[in-house]
Structure 1
Amino acid sequence: MNLNWKRKFLTIVTGQTVSLVGSSAVQFALIWWMASETGSPILLAFSGLMAFLPQALLGPFAGVWIDRLHRKTVVIAADLFQGLVAVAFAVWFLFATPPHWTACVVLGVRALGGVFHTPAIQALIPRLVPTDELVRVGGWQQFLQSGAFMLGPVLGALMYGALPLPVILLTDLLGAVAACLTLAFVKIEEPPQEHGEKRHFAHELREGFRTLLRDKQLCVLLFAVTLCMVFFMPLSSYYPLMTSNYFHLEAFHASIVEFTFALGMMATSLAVGLFGHIKNKLLFAHLGLFGIALTSLISGLVPPNMTGFWVFAVVCLFMGGSGNFYGIPTIAYMQESIPGEAQGRVFSLMGSMMSLSMPVGLLVSGPISEAYGVPLWFLISGVAMFVITLVSLLIIRKLH
């Protein structure tokens, strides 16, 4: 039995990792295409908005369907949908060169698949993994995903210099097919469904909210994370501009920043995977948020020269690592404490909270970054996240 769940988990996560490599390469190529040819923070901000808006608007409703349907089927359908969207955009290039803003639309449409894919995977893992192994498994899962995020941008940068963009887009479908094939052959026990009178959609939606609200400490943490992400999430759209506009460097240098960020994620994932029995998961989550705040603050202070770029790249190493220190314990805590039959809804609600912070942050950060430069938003974000995290930690200690 022990070997059985490990074999199933590794099969699934390997396929998902291959898919992530293709997706991150395509996403890097699309964003660099816009950043290098337009240099507009507003357009980059809009691309981030389109990538997160579907989850913010549709997440709670998608969660109900995830809990109603076979989660394996949901993941496979979402993977294939994202790959086919990229192929459709590639076909457009055969007839004409699309306007740059259409890449934002593609990122938004692809994100519709992610609305179902991410919470379905998060709810699927506890059906395979023993409860006392969830933190370590989360570490190993994040380790492989970090490797994908590390390899993807580098692969995207190399392909961008050697291949036409339509050819790069096809790698998204190839990765999706690999993920679907590995998942299709794994037998997974679905959570028990409630019998009796058929419940209404609205009732199940409210039940997901109630399940989340029962854990007051978790609610405080997620609220703090949401506020932090208002400041932090827009930064993911501005990384290419830090390289191209602030440091005046090329796509290869942009991929180095993505590489070091993912390397930091990989290092902490490996540490959690090896020594992952974390008792106070909520405390570790706050420590991770403090790390993100500090590294964002430093990023806003680096000078616009080559030395500053290398300092920025190293800081991104620790920024990526800090993200895992809050993300892995938080997900494991939820997988342990939330009933299996409601996890699709609760994880979707969490995803919506995180995604809703993106458009709010972009509405403020876009004009500020356009007028005063991207580094200022890094600086503002670091200060704000430090204060928010400190307040959250004090509240949770009182509740405890």
Structure 2
Amino acid sequence: METEIILTSTATQKTFKSYLFFWAGQLFSMLGSSITQFVIVWWITISTGSIVMLSIASFTYMLPMAIAFPIAGVLADRYARKKIIVIADSLQAFVTLYIIILFNMGMAEPLLIIIINGLLGLFQGFHIPTVSAIVPTMVPKEKLSRINGITYLFTGFIHIIGLVIAATLLAFLPIKLILWIDPITFIIAIIPLIIIKIPRVKKEKTLDKKNSFIKDFSEGFQTLKLIPVVSMMLLLSMFINFLIRPFNILMPYFVRFIHSGAASDLALISVFTYVGMLIGALITSIKKNWKHVISIYFCGEFLLMLPMVIFAFAPQGYFLLMGFAAAGFGLLIPILNTIYMTLMQKKVPPDKMGRIVSIDWTISTAISPIATLFAGFIADIIGVRTLF
């Protein structure tokens, strides 16, 4: 028997202020995670010198995340989202502490770290859809577009800082000390989360109180079918993700072994990427209304391919040229994502938002583990530059 839902708007000025407090804490957590992931990926790159190992590292991180997304979406619509975030974030902190212990005891082996890092991907798979699902319940509709743009603006800024900090610290400190930043930022981020109240979507006239997991998840697909524009965007995103995955995954190897670069060169390219994201996010935060959003989105997705062409033909050691290409890539990301997320948040019912977000992330990233392994093994045969 179906469950009849009456939607109740929960987003007010009070919840919006609470969201900003929560979001500020998440920025600290993001900073710690950014530094940690950069350091771990660079360590795997220089420790193994293997394209295949680098692709396996990404595969073991992405696969658990992709598996967790649909489960997390249903849980986020069934249970208290605040508890889910607290549990997922706490488990991530404990895993990072375990990695720190391994490095301090001299027991860190690339394969072991790769497997453990997969747990971080798993917990992120629960964190991301849940946090995304609470946005429309705490941010008023008229502020959604701008808050999405501002979110990408600050996200890009935090990642720039994280990359600069990580590259600088790698030149002076051992990894076992740098990794402590992540647990420290977790403590800072958890304080606002504990203090604020996250509203739960109200359901009324419930005719059938217990739905199975499969039924809940299938309702998300049924809802998605009723919004064809979002469905088309989602499918295109999956296709583009498959094409650009080698570009993202093999960049550390490309910089270190193809162009004889250092961690600072990889950080430089990454900083340019996030500077582009900052500019794109600034544009989206200033521009309130977009015209021809569908055309902008679909054209923009295909323009993301251009930087890969520039990287493939860049002369040896031309990291500045690569940086400008990466900045163009970064510029498009917040614009395209803001258009997509705003459309989704406006069209999807709040009580199904968790499931839709999880379906979105699942489909968009489901191809990533396959593309990751494909990229590693093919690049090992034909070369990274040729694959780009």
What TM-score comes out, normalization by structure 1 length? 0.90
CA distance in 2, matches of 1:72, 1:44: 34
CA distance in 1, matches of 2:141, 2:225: 22
In the alignment, residue 77 of structure 1 is paired with which amino acid?
I
1:140-162: CA deviations, max 9, x gaps? 01111111211112211122222
CA distance in 2, matches of 1:29, 1:363: 21
Greater share of residues in helix:
1
Match of 1:296 in 2: 308
Count of residues in correspondence between the two structures: 376
Asked if the contact 2:81/2:198 (under 8 Å) is kept, the reply is: no
- 2:217 alignment partner, one of 170, 181, 205: 205
SS in structure 1 of the partner of residue 313 of structure 2: coil
Match of 2:361 in 1: 351
Match of 1:177 in 2: 187
Cα offset for 1:124?
A: 0.6
Matched, 1:54 2:54: no
- 1:31 alignment partner, one of 38, 41, 44: 41
Asked if the contact 2:163/2:267 (under 8 Å) is kept, the reply is: yes
- 1:337 alignment partner, one of 347, 369, 373: 347
Cα offset for 1:312?
A: 0.4
Cα distance change of structure 1 residues 354 and 215 upon mapping to structure 2, 3 Å threshold = same
CA distance in 1, matches of 2:36, 2:320: 25
Cα offset for 1:4?
A: 3.5
Q: Which runs of 5+ in 1 are unaligned?
A: 379-400
- 2:378 alignment partner, one of 363, 368, 377: 368
What TM-score comes out, normalization by structure 2 length? 0.92
CA distance in 2, matches of 1:143, 1:187: 25
CA distance in 1, matches of 2:244, 2:190: 32
- 1:165 alignment partner, one of 161, 168, 175: 175
Match of 2:136 in 1: 126
SS in structure 2 of the partner of residue 136 of structure 1: helix
CA distance in 2, matches of 1:13, 1:108: 25
Cα offset for 1:2?
A: 7.2
Cα offset for 1:12?
A: 1.7
CA distance in 1, matches of 2:297, 2:81: 27
Cα offset for 1:277?
A: 2.0
Matches within 5 A, 1:39-78: 39-78=49-88
Match of 1:258 in 2: 270
CA distance in 1, matches of 2:24, 2:283: 19
Asked if the contact 2:246/2:371 (under 8 Å) is kept, the reply is: yes
Q: Percent identity?
A: 24
In the alignment, residue 269 of structure 2 is paired with which amino acid?
V
Matched, 1:314 2:324: yes
Match of 2:7 in 1: none
- 1:323 alignment partner, one of 330, 333, 358: 333
CA distance in 2, matches of 1:221, 1:28: 30
CA distance in 1, matches of 2:235, 2:364: 9
Cα offset for 1:266?
A: 1.2
Matched, 1:189 2:184: no
SS in structure 1 of the partner of residue 17 of structure 2: helix
CA distance in 2, matches of 1:121, 1:278: 25
- After TM superposition, where is structure 1 displaced by more than 4 Å over at least 4 residues in a row? none
